[in-house]
A and B are shown apart, each in its own frame.
Chain A
Amino acid sequence: MIATRDAYGEALAELGGENDKIVALDADLSGSTKTGVFGKKFPNRFFNMGIAEANMVGTAAGLAAVGKIPFLSTFAIFAAGRGWEQIRQSVAYPKANVKIVATHGGVTVGEDGGSHQSVEDVAIMRAIPNMTVIVPADGEETKGAIRAAAAYKGPVYVRLGRNKVPSVFPAGHKFEIGKGVVVVPGTDLTFITTGLMTAAAVTAAEKLNAEGISARVLHIGTIKPLDKELVLQAAEETGAIVTAEEHSVVGGLGGAVAEFLAETCPTLMKRVGIYDRFGTSGKSDELLKYFGLNAETLIEEAREIVSRKK
């Protein structure tokens, strides 16, 4: 168990030692986002921009314009929300080589409440042309994603979480932008999941197996570009799809899969996520349960969708 933000801090500091073009920016949250680890190791290449996200995004774009590889971090609500138009104009439109690594995504921010729980960041980032959107499942995948983002030339949005999450991938797992991973094979339905919902889907698949339902788990680490091949294969081979994400069902992974399948292979589908509402204060695990973001919900939805197949 490791929080994806901790894996990020580690990976960024490691990359910083390999490539001196890498610089980091933060908006007064470097202790929480873990860019502080990089900052401690490479103080000259770390820029605390204060509580001013718009300027942080623009500064990163300027650094990229002179050949740097800037990683900028703050909470997802501020990175994607406060910085949206700057990300669109100064980063994505020119295809600037800026990496936006947003931590504290989703409702697991917890006690800080709805004002701080970003449930729409993936949707608004995904809508921007030139943008790559990544939501890793665990620490290991995060390390790979950060490395892949640094190697990729262009804008990338990586969404991470606050809390420790179960491991899904083994050490040394290789992350490839745009490639999904079938974590559990199955034939009756497919859970297409991202972020911390992949671990929940693995648990759900194990339990469903005991009652004779064979559930595939397709982890989508890159929401954009979507791995259309594996999604289509899942639809064709299992005939039922349950998507799950710690995000609004509007415009995120569920939206992306629905848009794609509606035009290529209309399939029975259920989107598990947050149904067009804001978050609220509470403990992370309470909130996941409150919003139905857990294995129990996935099991119920799987039974339901498999029964509809017949």
Chain B
Amino acid sequence: MKEKIADLEEKARRLRVAIVKTLHKSQSGHTGGSLSAIDMVCALYFHKMRHNPAEPAWEGRDRFVLSKGHAAPALYVTLAECGYFPAEDLMMLRRLGSHLQGHPDSKGTPGVDVCTGSLGQGLSMANGMALGLKLDGKENRVYAVLGDGELQEGQIWEAAMAAAHYKSDNLCAMIDSNGLQIDGDVAKVMNVSSIADKFKAFGWNVIEIDGHDMGQIVTALDQAEAHKGAPTAIVAKTVKGKGVHLFENKASYHGVTPNDDELPEALRCLGCCD
């Protein structure tokens, strides 16, 4: 297990490097929220989810919904690392003609099942998938990564209510609680605390973790799968911009990309010499 965790940590480090390089190249996109979510996305794709990059539409796959769609770079670098599409495609992020749209688009990108990016809509879709899979008697699970600022959208709570009502225990929501949104601290813009209490009150199984501790992420995902009768929310305390001190805990890096001056230092932080 220790080895597995170390492998995942190394994988996450490499994915962070890819995020920084991709966003440096595109000069457009969301740095902070991609770096805060990447450990969870990494654990899902390289540890938890059943999926087949050679056959993206494989019936037996688990489903993933990046509800905080602006963290698309985190998803794209992970899909590329898995082999869903060539890593070179990442250099075309947000360019005209690229399948890598600013926010995830199921029409063009292999491995992306739904369109997200307009906040608050992903959990509803994830629950719809969960209901459909159950209806077919399938064991497959559905994972959604949400932002904490995103929880300000009322539709999230409509979906939370419905998922508990329908006992969607094949659904797991991971909340990337980095505490920052575009205009500043989530607590100051519109306080959503306590996230854990809110999901509990809606009838969810709630697990609180450090969203950058790979061991805790993996354990929480296993616990979520074992829990029956209710969906699980993993409330993950994270750091926006995690891994690069230049970007850490800065709301200003929500939608700003690394510039030429910052790139070498960013890569150095991530243990990357090239």
B-binding residues in A (CB < 8 A): 23, 44-45, 47, 49-50, 52, 54-55, 57-68, 70, 85-86, 89-90, 93-96
| B63:A85 contact, CB within 8 angstroms | no
Question: How many residues on chain B are close to A (CB under 8 Å)?
Answer: 35
A279-B135 Cα distance, complex, nearest whole Å: 41
| Minimum Cβ distance to chain A for residue B67 (Å) | 10
CB atoms of B132 and A63 under 8 A apart: yes
**Quick one: which of B114, B117, B124, B135 contacts A68, CB cutoff 8 A?**
B135
Return the 4 tightest CB-CB contacts between A and B, nearest first: A62-B128, A58-B124, A55-B158, A66-B132
B158 pairs with A62, CB closer than 8 A? no
Tell me the minimal C-beta distance from A29 to chain B in angstroms: 16
Q: Which residues of A contact B121 (CB under 8 A)?
A: 54, 58, 86, 89-90
* Apart from A47-B131, A55-B124, A90-B121, 20 more pairs, CB < 8 Å: A44-B135, A47-B166, A52-B161, A52-B162, A54-B124, A58-B121, A58-B122, A58-B128, A58-B159, A59-B127, A59-B162, A61-B125, A62-B131, A65-B106, A65-B129, A67-B136, A68-B135, A86-B155, A90-B125, A94-B115
Asked, given contacts A55-B155, A59-B128, A62-B131, whether A89 binds B115 with beta carbons under 8 Å apart, the answer is yes
Q: A61-B124, A66-B129 are in contact. Are A55 and B117 (CB under 8 A)?
A: no
* Residue contact A45 to B106, C-beta cutoff 8 Å: no
A98 to chain B, nearest CB (A): 10
Let me know if B115 and A93 touch, CB within 8 A.
yes
Q: Is the CB of B128 within 8 A of A63?
A: yes
Is there a chain A Cβ closer than 8 Å to B2's Cβ? Answer: no
Q: For the complex formed, measure the closest distance between the CB of B165 and the CB atoms of chain A, giving whole angstroms.
A: 8
Taking the complex as formed, is B130 at the interface, i.e. its CB lies under 8 A from any CB of chain A?
yes
Contact of B118 with A68 in the complex, beta carbons under 8 Å: no
Give Cα distance in the complex from A63 to B117, angstroms: 19
B133 adjacent to chain A (CB < 8 Å): yes
Among A57, A63, A67: residue with most chain B CB under 10 A: A63
A89 to B125, CA, bound (A): 11
Find out whether the CB atom of A89 lies under 8 angstroms from the CB atom of B63: no
The answer to whether B128 touches A94, judged by C-beta atoms less than 8 angstroms apart, is no
Q: Is B113 an interface residue (CB 8 A)?
A: yes
In the complex, A94→B114 CA distance in Å?
Answer: 7
User: Within the complex, what minimum Cβ distance (angstroms) separates A53 from chain B?
Assistant: 9
B135 pairs with A90, CB closer than 8 A: no
B236 close to A (CB within 8 Å): no
B136 contact set on A, CB distance < 8 A: 66-67
Chain A residue nearest to B128 in the complex (CB)? A62
Q: CA A67 – CA B136 in complex, angstroms?
A: 10
CA distance A167 to B125 in the complex (A): 39
- Determine whether B271 belongs to the interface, using a CB cutoff of 8 Å to chain A: no
In the bound complex, what is the Cα–Cα distance between A192 and B131 (angstroms)? 43
Question: Chain A residues near B161 (CB, 8 Å)?
Answer: 50, 52, 55
B148 at the interface (CB under 8 A from A): no
Complex: A77 Cα to B269 Cα, angstroms:
53
CB-contacts of B217-247 with A (<8 A):
none
Q: B271 to chain A: closest CB distance in Å?
A: 38
Q: Among B107, B118, B124, B135, point to the contact of A59 (Cβ < 8 A).
A: B124
Q: A54 — which chain B residues lie within 8 A by C-beta? A: 120-121, 124, 154-155, 158
Write 27 A-B pairs (CB below 8 A) sorted by A numbering. Answer: A23-B132, A44-B135, A47-B166, A52-B161, A52-B162, A54-B121, A54-B158, A55-B124, A55-B159, A55-B162, A58-B121, A58-B125, A58-B128, A58-B155, A62-B65, A63-B132, A65-B129, A66-B132, A66-B133, A67-B132, A67-B136, A89-B115, A89-B117, A93-B105, A94-B105, A94-B106, A96-B114
Confirm or deny: B126 has a beta carbon within 8 angstroms of a beta carbon on chain A. yes
A60 touches B128 (CB 8 A): yes
**A64 partner residues in chain B, CB cutoff 8 A:** 128
**Structural contact, B129 and A62, CB atoms closer than 8 A:** yes
Q: Which residues of B contact A68 (CB under 8 A)?
A: 132, 135
**In whole Å, how far is A217's beta carbon from the nearest beta carbon of chain B?**
39
| In contact, A59 and B125 (Cβ under 8 angstroms) | yes
- Tell me the complex Cα distance, A50–B166, Å: 12
Give the distance in Å from the alpha carbon of A65 to the alpha carbon of B135 in the complex: 13
